[in-house]
């Protein structure tokens, strides 16, 4: 399994968490699983984790002094460094092991070298979004201003998907739902807290954002006007220290939020099943870094949830009706819905049961794992059949088209880069233009901006 993100590095959510759940199912079924992934703090390490062999690689390299690539294609350079590190690790472990199938998370050409090796079928799991840690890193780097950056990134994605899926006999592309351990996240089991049967709401949110602090104060003030005995649990994403509960409560109290229990990010993962079982309903604010599990986990525990989906791609949610949404996601609208769920226990139970059934039907990791194993078997069986030479040629032709397009785009980027950085080059550009000699269109566009 080649996947940029695999927990615990970079957190327990998103595509990495899904890879972990599937790897655990494969291991439970008696299959040997090797994972190649990125390391959070650099360095290469081979470990044994939950029955699986995990190889972590260093994927961020400091640019050489004066590196042109670091100046004009920093995002593309990062992606290539990551791919090369994963490919090198794959070739290294391939010297010692013969795999029956190679599973890749299709983001950025991860399937390219395994497919070229050609001795093992490649199965690509396609996601609409890339790992959160990688997306944040690319945002931190920023945009170089050259179209080549976006073109390069899109081309890597196209190679990862198209190259792996072009030959039906050698590989297969599939889209699977996010998987969840529904036995762990279940309405059946022990509660983490004794709430003394008080109406309980769990809020999953960071506390460092003033906007959400103000919104939460408004919501809770309105809820407590109607439900004064409200039991409030806060899982604060951005409290990382091992401070005492009293110190955490003091931090929140200074924001105007009085609560019964505060759980920090490190503790929350171990306690979440019991915390959700202790709650009648939940509220998710600013949960992008924790999607989709932050939403799937309470639904699996049969807990109705209100979640701000404004800036989050929720295409993983096949039935949006299992998500409780106010008419408007404002303090008053959210408070009204929370009060309704907290006061009407039968309504909360009805919505919770529906959400549980939805998760069992669409996100149960055991079911997803069985589908994945069947897809592996079909891919391996097809791979062993007679190979068609024409399909291989078609696949390589598509690859060359991608590479040729990249070459043209790179040439244009270098011209623009030299035009911006070199006075001598700009003089040469204008002299050629005055003499009627051809000049590339991108440089003309840049010159207008200059």
Q: Minimal CA–CA distance to 261: which of 225, 231, 285? A: 231
Domain identity same for 93 and 74: yes
Tell me, what's the pLDDT at 385? 66
Domain termination residue (choose one: 328, 363, 398): 363
Range of the domain at 72: 14-178+370-387
Residues 171 and 34 in one domain: yes
pLDDT at residue 16, as a whole number: 93
Average pLDDT over residues 5-21: 93
**Strand order through the sheet with 281-284:** 261-264, 231-236, 200-205, 281-284, 305-307
User: Which CATH number fits the domain that encloses residue 351?
Assistant: 3.40.50.2000
Question: 313 lies in a domain?
Answer: yes
Identify whether residues 296 and 153 lie together within a single domain: no
Number of domains in the chain: 3
Look at residue 163 and tell me if it is in a domain: yes
172 & 225 share domain: no
For residue 202, pLDDT beyond 90: yes
pTM of the entire structure?
A: 0.83
Q: Are residues 343 and 210 in the same domain?
A: yes
Shared domain check, 252 and 239: yes
pLDDT of residue 336: 95
The answer to whether residues 265 and 354 belong to one domain is: yes
Residue 65 is predicted with a pLDDT of 57
* Cα separation, 1 vs 320, whole angstroms: 31
Highest mean pLDDT (candidates 42-46, 113-117, 322-326, 429-433) = 322-326
Q: 195 lies in a domain?
A: no
Same domain, 208 and 350: yes
Looking at the domain assignment, is residue 218 inside a domain? Answer: yes
> Which residues in 110-132 are b (16+ Cβ under 10 Å) and which e?
bbbbbbeeeebbbbbbbbebbbb
Mean pLDDT, to the nearest integer, of 195-211? 87
Residue 190 lies in a domain: no
The residues near 212 (Cβ < 8 Å, ≥ 6 apart) are 205, 206, 285, 286
Please report whether residue 8 resides in a domain.
no
In a domain, 183, yes or no: no
Q: Do residue 356 and residue 289 come from a single domain?
A: yes
35 shares its domain with 163? yes
Same domain, 225 and 251: yes
The larger pLDDT score, comparing residue 33 to residue 438, is at: 33
Average of per-residue pLDDT across 73-89: 87
CA distances, 175 to each of 27, 123, 371 (Å): 21, 11, 11
Is residue 6 a part of any domain in this protein? no
347 and 379 both lie in a single domain: no
The 10s digit of each residue's pLDDT in 16-35 is 999 999 999 999 999 999 99
Instruction: Express each pLDDT in 286-331 by its tens digit.
Output: 888 888 999 999 999 999 999 988 878 888 888 888 999 888 889 9
Q: What is the pLDDT of residue 93?
A: 94
Using the predicted structure, report yes or no on whether residue 55 has a pLDDT greater than 70. yes
């Amino acid at each position: 399994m080649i996947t940029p993100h695999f927990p615990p590095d970079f957190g327990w959510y998103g595509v990495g968490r899904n890879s972990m759940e599937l790897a655990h199912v494969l291991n439970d079924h008696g299959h040997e699983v090797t994972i190649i992934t990125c390391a959070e703090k650099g360095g290469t390490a081979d470990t044994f984790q939950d029955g699986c062999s995990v190889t972590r690689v260093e994927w961020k390299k400091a640019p050489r002094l004066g590196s042109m690539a670091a100046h004009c294609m920093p995002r593309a350079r990062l992606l290539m460094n990551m791919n090369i590190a994963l490919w090198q690790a794959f070739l290294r472990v391939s010297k010692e092991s013969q795999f029956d199938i190679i599973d890749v998370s299709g983001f950025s050409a991860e399937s390219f070298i395994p497919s070229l090796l050609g001795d093992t079928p490649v199965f690509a799991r396609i996601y609409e979004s890339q790992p959160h840690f990688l997306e944040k890193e690319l945002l931190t780097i920023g945009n170089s201003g050259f179209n080549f950056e976006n073109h390069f990134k899109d081309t890597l994605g196209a190679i990862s998907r198209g190259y792996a899926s072009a030959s039906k006999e050698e590989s297969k592309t599939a889209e699977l739902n996010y998987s969840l351990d529904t036995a762990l996240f279940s309405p059946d089991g022990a509660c983490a807290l004794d709430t003394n049967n008080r109406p309980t709401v769990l809020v999953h949110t960071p506390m460092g954002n003033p906007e959400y602090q103000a919104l939460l104060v408004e919501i809770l003030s309105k809820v407590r006007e109607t439900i004064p005995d409200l039991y409030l649990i806060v899982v604060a994403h951005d409290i990382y220290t091992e401070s005492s509960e009293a110190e955490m409560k003091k931090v929140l109290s200074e924001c105007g939020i009085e609560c019964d229990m505060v759980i920090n990010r490190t503790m929350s993962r171990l306690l979440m099943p019991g915390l959700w079982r202790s709650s009648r309903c939940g509220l998710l604010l600013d949960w992008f870094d924790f999607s989709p599990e932050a939403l799937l986990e309470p639904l699996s525990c049969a807990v109705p949830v209100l979640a701000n989906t404004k800036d989050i791609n929720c295409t993983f949610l096949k039935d949006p009706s299992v998500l409780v949404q106010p008419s408007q996601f404002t303090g008053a609208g959210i408070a009204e819905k929370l009060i309704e769920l907290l006061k009407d226990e039968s309504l909360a139970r009805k919505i919770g049961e529906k959400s549980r059934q939805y998760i069992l039907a669409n996100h149960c990791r055991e079911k997803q794992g069985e589908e994945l194993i069947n897809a592996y078997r079909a891919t391996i069986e097809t791979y062993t059949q007679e190979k068609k030479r024409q399909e291989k040629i078609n696949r390589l032709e598509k690859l060359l088209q991608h590479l040729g397009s990249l070459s043209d785009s790179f040439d244009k980027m270098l011209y623009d880069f030299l035009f911006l950085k070199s006075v001598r080059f700009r003089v040469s550009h204008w002299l050629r233009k005055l003499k009627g000699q051809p000049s590339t269109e991108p440089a003309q566009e840049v010159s207008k901006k200059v």
